[in-house]
Structure 1
Amino acid sequence: MDIRQLKYFLTITEEGQITAAAKKLKMAQPPLSQQMKLLENELGITLFERGPRQIQVTDAGKILANRARQILELSDSTVKEIDDFKRGCKGTLTIGTVSSSGNILLNKGIEKFHKEYSDINFEIHEGNTYALIDLLTKGIIEVGIVRTPFNNKRFNCSYAKQEPMVAAMTATYDWDVAKKEITVDELKNRPLIIYRRFNKLIYEVCESYSFKPTVYCKNDDARTTILWANAGHGIAIVPYSAITLAAHNNLHVKIIKEEKLSTRITLIWMKNRYLSLLAKNFIDYFNIQ
């Protein structure tokens, strides 16, 4: 039994057909079938129940599939670790970041990281928290800079400090210019512009104050939320640090005094997955922000 056979075996279990697996592996079907017979003979057990159109993995095959994934992941991690060692701390770091992360990539820790590792290049993917979690799960990015709340069970997390949500509006919508802080119930019957990322949270908090929010506009980007508010279309509800992401010269900003309406920038990476030396160092410098 070797790495190549395990890769063949897993591809067949995923495709459910020898023909489809052979196509994916870019090889002829007879050699693939022969390799599986050799593997079964070596182990002395049947791995597949072969049908006219599809194959079924036996219980023994399921055990092997689980172990094969672990072995292949370990093999891949080992190759990457050796490559890291050979190259030193050089290469390209692929990260994902939400638009509402503000200037997090320009903080002192990341600035120090850039100076220390000047040979490193960055490839940055932007999207909302859920899109970045999908990219991270698929291995397209190594680390993601996202916002709470999200389900963190699958991830290692490094949290930045908590920050409040704010209501940002032009003078037309400002009911009390002197006020710098407001309560949630003061938002009742006012036209809100919200970032879809916080839709559920905002609705739940408003309903706890016995009213349903009046949502004038819902969108997928904090910058859009701010721009619409700055143009006088309503009241933007965004994280405090996101205000400077777009033109905001017309906005009056008020902190919303409600603990539930708060959020944190969070650096996440997958549990039980290889992490490059570049990513490990990046995380260390993020932690000293």
Structure 2
Amino acid sequence: MEFRQLRYFLAVAEELHFGRAATRLDMAQPPLSRQIAGLEEALGVQLFDRSRSQIRLTQAGQVLQDHARQIMDRLDTARRETRLVGAGGAGRLRIAFVGSASHGPLPMLIKAYRATYPEVELALSALNNAELHRALITREIDIAVARPELKDEEFRRELLFREKLILALPEDSPLAAAETVRFADLSDQTFVLYPRRPRPSYADVVLGICEREGFKPAGLELTQDFQSAISLVSVGVGLSVVPESVSRTTRPGVIYRPYSGHNPGTGLTVHARLDNRAPQVLNFMETTRKFARAATAAAPVPAAG
């Protein structure tokens, strides 16, 4: 019994007329009659009671009709879902990101992707840069959102966003009274930086700013991730240098201030393996390109000085 025979059988069972069924199937009636006779012979049953005036389903034919409808419905569902996944409109996408990315444009990017591909299941997790690199190499994730980027020739990348750095201060810090803090005046402060390892890392970017401003921090506290660093700032251990977007989310015990001095800024970059051609991945990278382009176009133009 073949799918083609089931389709022919269902047409006859629904029309109860070989001529109309043949027209519906866009075929001649004699071949259709032969197909039904062959199906009955293969099953060893009579599917239709035939007379000159009409045909009717036998009890065996009614049973086959019920099963055939289910089979054809499941086949249609399988065809639709397979095509949808194959085009990237469904399936699963594993995205990992640095913790500070959740305060910037990443949530809006994910929202934009969901709006276009609502049937794709997203698995989200937070990792530091070293973990992102390893997970992408070992194919544990499909997309890595790093700050500022992962350096690997095997990755494709799209810059999502660039922003300035600002200070995260304990709310009772004497520096909180100033609207803008001179970075060069921070030589007596303890800096809470991340990650602890591997190095070099974002922590070394901040230490490079200190060196550029002519000092080494009086104290240095290294943590493994952004959330741990902000937690230590909130209890007064020291200050941290963080992306400006972090200030959009309030944290008890922490205030944010801009600073004057060397500010190299930081960025968020979306990565995927070059050899990962899954449509879900390619669609996400394309969404990132469009999102970043739109964000750049919408950014205010600085006033002429």
Equivalent residue for 2:244, pick from 227, 240, 243: 240
Q: How far is 1:258 from its partner?
A: 4.5
Which stretches in structure 1 are left out of the alignment for 5+ residues? 1-82
Equivalent residue for 1:253, pick from 251, 256, 259: 256
Match of 1:284, SS state, is helix
- Cα deviations across residues 160-217 of structure 1 (Å, max 9, x unaligned)? 23212221112432336132x3332122111111122422112222122221123342
Q: CA RMSD in A?
A: 2.4
Q: 1:84 to 1:153 in 2, by over 3 A?
A: farther
C-alpha separation between the residues in 1 aligned to 2:244 and 2:99? 13
1:100: which partner in 2? 100
Partners of 2:176 and 2:255 within 8 A in 1: no
C-alpha separation between the residues in 2 aligned to 1:222 and 1:233? 14
Q: TM-score, normalised by structure 1?
A: 0.63
C-alpha separation between the residues in 1 aligned to 2:164 and 2:170? 20
- One-letter code aligned to 1:145: V
Q: How far is 1:234 from its partner?
A: 1.6
Match of 2:258, SS state, is strand
1:226: which partner in 2? 230
Match of 2:164, SS state, is strand
Partners of 2:184 and 2:261 within 8 A in 1: no
2:184: which partner in 1? 185
1:134: which partner in 2? 134
Larger radius of gyration: 2
Q: How far is 1:150 from its partner?
A: 4.3
- Cα deviations across residues 75-104 of structure 1 (Å, max 9, x unaligned)? xxxxxxxx7776442111012111111243
C-alpha separation between the residues in 2 aligned to 1:149 and 1:206? 22
- One-letter code aligned to 2:217: P
Equivalent residue pairs, number: 203
- Cα deviations across residues 127-152 of structure 1 (Å, max 9, x unaligned)? 10121011111222121101115425
Match of 2:118, SS state, is coil
1:12: which partner in 2? none
Partners of 1:230 and 1:249 within 8 A in 2: yes
Which stretches in structure 2 are left out of the alignment for 5+ residues? 1-81, 196-200, 292-305
C-alpha separation between the residues in 1 aligned to 2:107 and 2:176? 34
